[in-house]
Amino acid sequence: MEKTLKFLKKLNQKRRKQLLQAFLDIHDWDLDHLDVKKLQGKKNLFRVRVGKLRIIFKKQENKGVILEVGSRGDIY
């Protein structure tokens, strides 16, 4: 979690706000307006694209649990 907080602090305010909103939507499992894809070969893992950033998460009891956040090339 410390790594994610450090990453968020480096972002500009607009991108940080977009990511935080995506975090809330993932947690509430409100994915209708997000660019979500299931990861190939992984059971129950998904990614959300927010610009050039990616959020990796899994579904757990009708909630989203965020596993990793980072730049597209660093996260896969």
pLDDT in tens, 21-51: 999 999 999 999 999 999 999 889 999 999 8
Domains of the chain: 2-75 (3.30.2310.20)
What pLDDT score does 1 carry?
A: 64
Residue listed under structure tokens 């579904």: 59
Q: Are 55 and 15 in contact (CB under 8 A)?
A: no
Q: Give φ, ψ of 50 to 5 degrees.
A: -125, 90
Percent of the residues in the chain that have a pLDDT greater than 90, as a whole number: 64
Record the pTM. 0.85
